[in-house]
Structure 1
Amino acid sequence: MFGRIGRAAVLRPWLTIAAWIVAAVALAALAPQLKSTGDQADFLPSHYESVQAAEVQERAFPQHEQPAAIAVFQRSDGGRLTAADKADVAQVSSRLQALGIDHVKRVETNEQAVSPNGRIALASVVSTVEDPYDPDLMDAVEELRAEARPLLKDTELKLGVTGQAASALDSQEASGDTDAMIMSATLVLIVVLLLIIFRSPLIAVLPVLIIGLAFMVATGLIATAAELGGLKADSSITAILIVVLFGVGTDYILFLLFRHREQLRSGQAPKQAMITAVTLVGETIASAAGAVIVAFMALLLSTMGMLRTMGPSLAISVAVALLAGLTLVPAVFSLLGTKAYWPSKSWRAEPKHALADRVGSLASRRPGAVAAVTGGVLAVLSVGVLGFRAEFDMNSSLPQNLESVRAMKDMERGFSAGQADPTTVYLEKDGGPALTASELKAFGAELGKVEGVDTVSPAVPGQDGRVAQYSVVLEHNPSGQKAIELVAGPLRDTAHGASPEGSEALVGGTTAVLADIENAVSHDYKVVFPVAGAAIMLILGLVLRSVVAPLYLMVSVALGFGATLGATVWLFQNSQGKDGLLFTLPVIVYLFVVAIGTDYNILMVARLREEIEQGRSPREAAARAVARCVPTIGAASVILAGTFGVLMLAENSMLQQMGFAVAFGILLTAFVMAMLLVPALTTLLGRRAWWPGHKIGPGPETAPVRVRDDDRTPV
């Protein structure tokens, strides 16, 4: 099948290229645009308590207003606020409101907004939009900050703005243009490394153009699926699509070009060499892509809307990369022939790969020692996973000099940490008479007894008296682990147990959402990972026609996952004293290290099997396969790892964690697992690795195709 695909692309190159260009232009012109959204309604399923609480709030308290930001006032000398200072706070707040800043409904303060120690005063910034991540609201916060500075000149006050919208603004500015940074770094890495490897300007540039065309097709298909097929996707996935497409796309191009150059060196004509290359590595590329697609589609089993959205979109992008690798790449390079490698002459003769040969010799001559050492290193690194703690406070990763971070610390000098984002508790009567004043008072008193709760506001009854709302200020950071544990345990237990007969209590708000996300993530780890692992193992079994090889491959993949996450825990959590690591980090490692990194294992094992099929002994097959695959795997992994490694330049520690974990994991998968551990294990097992395929048949058919004399290049 892959021979026919390669033959069609090589013999009809202009038709193939034209089809891709037409598809890209048509999708760019006709497909809807991916839209940015901050709607988190589908972030969690409806059975979670925080979602049910939000539904009660929308139904019973549609006018409920939560400050989008908080202005924190204090004296420049840090002393107690005087009567004149308090008057200035009120005046500045009033003048800010009078400015009529778009999306700012009110800027209000009162006497109760002064801290008990008299050092801090607050003003609530109430917006006209509910989503604190709304771009227009973030612009409004930026304008409010700028307008406040001249108003403070004749006072003894200084002001900082914090809260959700302010933190979102600072986070966006601190991260910078991540999409542009990733794209620029990716392009530079691809061009520079391909130039070094092939010493050809055409090969350095063409993959970028080819993948760019594939990117247009992929984003168009995703947007069309989102519009017509009910697929939920938004523009926030663009950055990850860039990495996936350029990462796996470059992998597949390198797999093909290295094999094409190998066939040229054996004396085949350029067109025939490309057809043979597609025939030999087409199944490998398709299997690698299939494993990645299955892994991404397994995210549909997630309970979190964010991951369910990501899975199909990434699967589409990988499928497009696969199609481009099997059709567009052969078509383009068949037109160029050996001119693609100009001015290098390396395609004419096999160079001496001294390092690759030594690695292959090591893996084949001492497989037991290599397997023991590499497996031991992975196992030791995996121990770090036992200390992994999830961090849900995204603001903790921001640089400490940002205004929202400094203002939050200033506010905590006078108020509880939970003042910025109180937890809301709703008490609803199922039927019968309305809630009585005594019931409301008693319920609020019970909430106030919970250790870790600072204050509980008086009940705010709904219009029909059957629903009441309480604002609960916690002593802890609303996004911190202590607050999450408090809400998930004692506060919810007390609220449920203290609700009057015939009523139901629901705990909502940011902290409650995070508590439910923690449960959802735990569920996803138990469901998504095993299903994806089983599916990948099935694909490996089919492509290798073996039961044994997929088993030890998946064991090595699990070790690689554990080693990657464990090393990240030791570096960031233990060495740097972090409270925890990004809660989505295990999923990120799964997506980019396990799923995409499996490409290198598949390439290596497929080449091992090919060498065995040609009659070589297991040791000879290992030495030759490793020597042949080391340049390909090394180049592909360095490009992909470098793309993520650039994230370590960001000031945001969450991005640093992500960049290190994926870059380290990819390099670990390539240089330790694919080049050493897997060949060593395969050598140790010998022909038993291919059981039940004891009688390994001939390799795929590579029958020559008729080519014109001018297509032939003498060797």
Structure 2
Amino acid sequence: MSITTTRCRNRSNERCQEVSVMFSRFGRLIVLNPWKVIAVWLVLLVGSFLAPRLADQVSNDQASFLPSSYESVQAQELAERAFSQGNGASATIVIKRVDTQPLTEGDAARVGELAQALNTAGIERVTSAATGPQAVSPNKQVQLVSIVLSGSPADPKLNDTIVSVRDKTSSMLKGSELSYAVTGDGAFLLDNQEAFDNALLVVSIVTLVLVVGLLLVIYRSPVAALLPVVVVGVVSAVSGAAVALVVRAFGMQVDPSLATILTVVLYGVGTDYIVFLLFRYRERLRAGDSPKDALTAAVSRVGEVIASAAAAIVIAFGALLLALFGGFRSLGPGLAIGVIVMAIAAVTLVPAIVSLIGPKVFWPSKSWQRAPRGSIFQRLGTFTGRRPALVALASGGVLAVLALGVFGLKIDYDQIGQLPKGTESARGLEDIKLGFPAGALNPTTVYVRSDGGQPLDPAALDRFAQSLAQVSGVGSLMPGPTGAPATISPDGTTARINLLLTTSSYSNTALDVAGDDLRRVAHAETPPGTTALVGGVSSLFADIRHANNRDLWVIFPVAGALIAVILGLLLRSLVAPVYLMLAVGLGFVATLGATVLAFQGIGDKQGLSFNLPIILYLFVVAIGTDYNILMIARLREEARAGNDPRTAAALGILHGGPSVAAAGLILAGTFASMLFAQVSFLTEMGFAVSAGIVLSAFIMSLFLVPAVTALLGHTAWWPGHGDRGRPDSVSTEPSSASQVEPVTTPAG
């Protein structure tokens, strides 16, 4: 029989077999028509170059990712209407002496000339540049030039503006004893974008080297090593164009990290799927199948696994659509589209290419012609089959111990700290601390609006401002241009009061002040007939923190439940999905605990990036489930062949272990490339996801899941009992029970 899938002779079993039959027919269609399949992908590739670029859809404005119901967003909208700069970016030039001595009167005059030159230079988007005695720090170590920029921070043209300001400042201060650094919102966004662009380049190069190098070690074949590079390159172009089209069609905002994360996901997941397919193809060649039949069988067997694994990832990423914070919501569809395109390519483009190459895909190695004897996976499988209780206890214990680290978890919202230390923005922030409070660069602003359109009372505003200054955590009032604490809009109906907090604007303490204590006092003490809104960076990230906490409680259970449904449909069981998801949940907590130990324990970080837990959860749960699906499907296959639960566990590790280990090693390596990104969040994500994949592949899927399945035996497949062999079916899979030693000894 040329096709290896089992066919039903009894109509009652037909539903159980229809998926396998479908993938068998689909696989043969692809294998027999490779050029047509490749032609379709070439058309898609050419079309991708005509589509919008994903990079053009990126937004760096965190406020644009929050719903308008949040107070910080309403404050920005009010500022835009009243002062025409609510969402406008800003820049600040921080100037000090090279010799670290106090600034002289001559230095102050030179800085004044700089501000005047910027006002008359005609730099696009520069509304004004101001300095003066009030901009000199009390200890005379630092003087500031405040620049107001027109337009949204997300406007890419502001990048050119910041570059022009830096060039003009450099030329004006050349030859003086003064040094400078242009920082502030506008400069921060420019440096942030450059950091992510550099990270994308570094990550792409390192990922490419790692994937090719690891595949060369695994297959000892340059053809097999380069296959994922070609396929992922095509998929990256096609999926990037697809994501850009969807984003543009629905008017969505895209987080700047999407392009970098998508690249790593496609290389990691794509290589995993290709490894799954090539391992099964090699297995069937060793069993004596012809190349075409072996490839058809591989697509038939692995196709369902890839489809289920991709569905789990897509559902997990799709759950991000439930997020309030748009930064998460924008990642979901983009990553889901990329995984869908990659899964389609894995069962179409990859088999088409391999169909043309044949066994030469493993050239020049000859190892594909013979199965290894006495391999490490054979020994591991035999040991697990003999002592499943011990293996389950040991593997679960490792995860439980690492999970203890999660009790020390702290969340960090410091976006400035994400930048590499060498950027000009970061240097400016350090310089400003020489003479001003930590919150001086990003004052927290309280806006007061007249409810009935009547003019505001300046005396009442002064009293209100003094009450705000008494709030714990507020350092001082920042006077407006007239010297008064409140600046009133031209129509007299809106005022703004700038407050300097005692801590960094991004610290949790500042977020507590702006998002809680200050708002409570502002709302309670506002003058009669007016409404107060607290805005600014600290208020914005207080709202982002609230949205993030809400999203964690909503997305986690929804994604987990939906993945469990996928597992239930695949396995036709209610028991197996429960312990599989419990294992994945334990793996997630263990990964987060290990990351806390690495960065907050061994490292000196104050906390983990606020968006790391949710991204980590989705990657570890979704991608970790890939390996569980591959292993549990193999365990079911071995059980259906008539093996007892312990022998099935031994055989599952023997045959499924190499592909799980290889895929896990490659995927962990691709995410580890983010360690070279020099962006704090990407570095944390690279370590965390790599650790999570290692734990998922080498502890959870390779040991914990087979051991628990062996212990539960027939109960694991209740109520569908998909482990039962079918006497009315014919299987052409070779018997593999002889490849492991008998495992009938009691567990202990």
Aligned to 2:691: 664
- Secondary structure of 2:65 counterpart: coil
- Which stretch shifts more, 263-272 or 588-597? 588-597
Does the Cα contact within 8 Å between 2:468 and 2:521 map onto a contact in 1? yes
Does the Cα contact within 8 Å between 1:416 and 1:473 map onto a contact in 2? yes
Aligned to 2:147: 125
Aligned to 1:244: 265
- Distance of aligned partners of 1:313 and 1:655 in 2 relative to their CA distance in 1, 3 Å threshold: closer
Task: Work out the CA distance in 2 between the residues paired with 1:226 and 1:653.
Answer: 26
- Secondary structure of 1:420 counterpart: coil
- Distance of aligned partners of 1:34 and 1:73 in 2 relative to their CA distance in 1, 3 Å threshold: closer
Which amino acid in structure 2 is aligned with residue 690 of structure 1?
A: W
2:600 to 573, 592, 611: 573
- Secondary structure of 1:651 counterpart: coil
- Distance of aligned partners of 1:48 and 1:244 in 2 relative to their CA distance in 1, 3 Å threshold: same
Does the Cα contact within 8 Å between 2:88 and 2:150 map onto a contact in 1? no
Task: Work out the CA distance in 2 between the residues paired with 1:91 and 1:450.
Answer: 38
Does the Cα contact within 8 Å between 2:573 and 2:721 map onto a contact in 1? no
2:70 to 44, 48, 51: 48
Aligned to 1:643: 670
2:314 to 286, 293, 318: 293
Answer yes or no: is 1:631 the counterpart of 2:658: yes
Report the Cα offset of residue 387 of structure 1: 1.4
Report the Cα offset of residue 41 of structure 1: 5.4
Instruction: Write out aligned runs for 1:210-221 (5 A).
Output: 210-221=231-242
Task: Work out the CA distance in 2 between the residues paired with 1:343 and 1:691.
Answer: 46
- Distance of aligned partners of 1:701 and 1:441 in 2 relative to their CA distance in 1, 3 Å threshold: farther
- Secondary structure of 2:416 counterpart: helix
Task: Work out the CA distance in 1 between the residues paired with 2:102 and 2:160.
Answer: 32
Report the Cα offset of residue 522 of structure 1: 0.2
Structure 2, unpaired ranges of 5+: 1-21, 480-484, 733-748
- Distance of aligned partners of 1:702 and 1:241 in 2 relative to their CA distance in 1, 3 Å threshold: farther
Report the Cα offset of residue 337 of structure 1: 1.9
Task: Work out the CA distance in 2 between the residues paired with 1:562 and 1:528.
Answer: 16
Which amino acid in structure 1 is aligned with residue 214 of structure 2?
A: L
Aligned to 2:46: 25
Does the Cα contact within 8 Å between 1:279 and 1:701 map onto a contact in 2? no
Aligned to 2:4: none
Report the Cα offset of residue 640 of structure 1: 1.3
Aligned to 2:682: 655
2:116 to 81, 87, 94: 94
Does the Cα contact within 8 Å between 1:67 and 1:125 map onto a contact in 2? no
Does the Cα contact within 8 Å between 1:210 and 1:328 map onto a contact in 2? yes
Which amino acid in structure 2 is aligned with residue 550 of structure 1?
A: P
- Which stretch shifts more, 119-128 or 284-293? 119-128
Aligned to 2:303: 282
- Distance of aligned partners of 1:18 and 1:85 in 2 relative to their CA distance in 1, 3 Å threshold: closer
- Distance of aligned partners of 1:390 and 1:319 in 2 relative to their CA distance in 1, 3 Å threshold: same
Report the Cα offset of residue 162 of structure 1: 2.4
Instruction: Write out aligned runs for 1:523-542 (5 A).
Output: 523-542=550-569
- Which stretch shifts more, 290-299 or 110-119? 110-119
Aligned to 1:512: 539
Does the Cα contact within 8 Å between 1:5 and 1:327 map onto a contact in 2? no
- Distance of aligned partners of 1:216 and 1:148 in 2 relative to their CA distance in 1, 3 Å threshold: closer
Kindly provide the CA deviation profile for residues 239-265 of structure 1, in whole angstroms up to 9, marking residues without a partner as x: 222112221111111111111111111
Instruction: Write out aligned runs for 1:58-137 (5 A).
Output: 58-63=80-85, 68-131=90-153, 134-137=155-158
Report the Cα offset of residue 154 of structure 1: 5.0
Which amino acid in structure 2 is aligned with residue 622 of structure 1?
A: A
- Distance of aligned partners of 1:701 and 1:580 in 2 relative to their CA distance in 1, 3 Å threshold: farther
Task: Work out the CA distance in 2 between the residues paired with 1:342 and 1:687.
Answer: 42
Task: Work out the CA distance in 1 between the residues paired with 2:389 and 2:678.
Answer: 43
- Distance of aligned partners of 1:417 and 1:336 in 2 relative to their CA distance in 1, 3 Å threshold: same
Task: Work out the CA distance in 2 between the residues paired with 1:97 and 1:466.
Answer: 29
Aligned to 2:476: 455
Aligned to 1:408: 429
- Distance of aligned partners of 1:550 and 1:395 in 2 relative to their CA distance in 1, 3 Å threshold: same
Answer yes or no: is 1:586 the counterpart of 2:608: no
- Secondary structure of 1:417 counterpart: coil
- Which stretch shifts more, 101-110 or 479-488? 101-110
1:158 to 130, 155, 179: 179
Which amino acid in structure 2 is aligned with residue 207 of structure 1?
A: P
Aligned to 1:713: none
Task: Work out the CA distance in 2 between the residues paired with 1:499 and 1:153.
Answer: 48
Task: Work out the CA distance in 2 between the residues paired with 1:230 and 1:92.
Answer: 40
Aligned to 1:370: 391
- Secondary structure of 1:314 counterpart: helix
Does the Cα contact within 8 Å between 1:36 and 1:236 map onto a contact in 2? no
Which amino acid in structure 2 is aligned with residue 595 of structure 1?
A: A
Kindly provide the CA deviation profile for residues 539-560 of structure 1, in whole angstroms up to 9, marking residues without a partner as x: 1111011111111111111111
CA RMSD for the aligned pairs? 2.4
Does the Cα contact within 8 Å between 1:120 and 1:413 map onto a contact in 2? yes
Task: Work out the CA distance in 2 between the residues paired with 1:345 and 1:575.
Answer: 45
1:612 to 639, 653, 664: 639
- Secondary structure of 2:367 counterpart: coil
Does the Cα contact within 8 Å between 1:619 and 1:683 map onto a contact in 2? yes
Query: Identity, % of aligned pairs?
Result: 48
Report the Cα offset of residue 450 of structure 1: 0.9
Report the Cα offset of residue 143 of structure 1: 4.3
1:489 to 516, 520, 541: 516
Aligned to 2:330: 309
Task: Work out the CA distance in 1 between the residues paired with 2:491 and 2:151.
Answer: 26
- Secondary structure of 1:435 counterpart: coil
Kindly provide the CA deviation profile for residues 633-659 of structure 1, in whole angstroms up to 9, marking residues without a partner as x: 121112111112122124333332111
- Secondary structure of 1:596 counterpart: helix
Does the Cα contact within 8 Å between 2:202 and 2:677 map onto a contact in 1? no
Instruction: Write out aligned runs for 1:343-358 (5 A).
Output: 343-352=364-373, 354-358=375-379
- TM superposition score normalised by structure 2: 0.89
Structure 1, unpaired ranges of 5+: 705-715
- Secondary structure of 1:72 counterpart: strand
- TM superposition score normalised by structure 1: 0.93
- Secondary structure of 1:335 counterpart: helix
- Which stretch shifts more, 160-169 or 142-151? 142-151
Does the Cα contact within 8 Å between 1:35 and 1:235 map onto a contact in 2? no
Task: Work out the CA distance in 1 between the residues paired with 2:329 and 2:174.
Answer: 50
Which amino acid in structure 1 is aligned with residue 30 of structure 2?
A: A
Which amino acid in structure 2 is aligned with residue 322 of structure 1?
A: A
- Distance of aligned partners of 1:702 and 1:103 in 2 relative to their CA distance in 1, 3 Å threshold: farther
- Secondary structure of 1:425 counterpart: strand
Report the Cα offset of residue 269 of structure 1: 0.9
Report the Cα offset of residue 144 of structure 1: 3.5
Report the Cα offset of residue 173 of structure 1: 4.8
1:557 to 584, 592, 598: 584
Does the Cα contact within 8 Å between 2:37 and 2:349 map onto a contact in 1? yes
- Which stretch shifts more, 168-177 or 577-586? 168-177
Which amino acid in structure 2 is aligned with residue 111 of structure 1?
A: P
Aligned to 1:393: 414
- Distance of aligned partners of 1:537 and 1:130 in 2 relative to their CA distance in 1, 3 Å threshold: same
- Secondary structure of 2:303 counterpart: helix
Answer yes or no: is 1:267 the counterpart of 2:280: no
Does the Cα contact within 8 Å between 1:107 and 1:126 map onto a contact in 2? yes
- Distance of aligned partners of 1:523 and 1:134 in 2 relative to their CA distance in 1, 3 Å threshold: same
Aligned to 2:214: 193
Which amino acid in structure 1 is aligned with residue 698 of structure 2?
A: F
- Which stretch shifts more, 417-426 or 210-219? 210-219
Task: Work out the CA distance in 2 between the residues paired with 1:235 and 1:22.
Answer: 28
- Distance of aligned partners of 1:558 and 1:300 in 2 relative to their CA distance in 1, 3 Å threshold: same
- Distance of aligned partners of 1:554 and 1:695 in 2 relative to their CA distance in 1, 3 Å threshold: closer
Which amino acid in structure 1 is aligned with residue 74 of structure 2?
A: Q
Task: Work out the CA distance in 2 between the residues paired with 1:243 and 1:602.
Answer: 21
